[in-house]
Amino acid sequence: MIAASMISFLFGAVLGQRFNVVVLVPAVAFVLVLSVGAGFAHPQAAWWIVRMAGAGAICLQGGYFAGIVTRHLLAAEPSGESSPLASAETSTHHAAP
C-alpha cells in the first residue's frame, strides 16, 4: 500500500506540472479502478480495498498540489539571463569621435 501511495503521489506531481485540476477526475477514477483490481487480484477484505483506494486518491491529490507548488516556484525563480540594463553597460559599441 505504501508503494501504491508513493506512485500515486508522484503521478499527481507530474499531472500538477502540466494539467488543470480537471484532470484529477479521470486520474482518481483510474486509481480507484486499479485499487479495486489489485484488491480482487490479491484476495483482500473490502475495508482494505476501500482504504487502499482512499489512500491512493488522497496521495494523488496531494501530489497534484505539490506539483502545482513546484511549478509556481520554478516559474517565479529568476532566470540566469542578463538584463537589458546590464548588457547596455557592457556594450562594445563605441561612440564616433
Q: Report pLDDT for 86.
A: 52
Q: Report pLDDT for 63.
A: 96
- Length of the chain equals 97
Question: Given the C-alpha cell 502545482, which residue does it identify?
Answer: 68
C-alpha to C-alpha distance for 83 and 55, rounded to whole angstroms: 47
Q: Report pLDDT for 54.
A: 93
Q: Report pLDDT for 94.
A: 58
Averaged pLDDT in 10-residue chunks for the chain of 97 residues: 87 92 93 88 85 93 95 79 54 58
Q: Is residue 35 within 8 Å of residue 52, measured between CB atoms?
A: yes
Which grid coordinates belong to 56?
Answer: 491512493
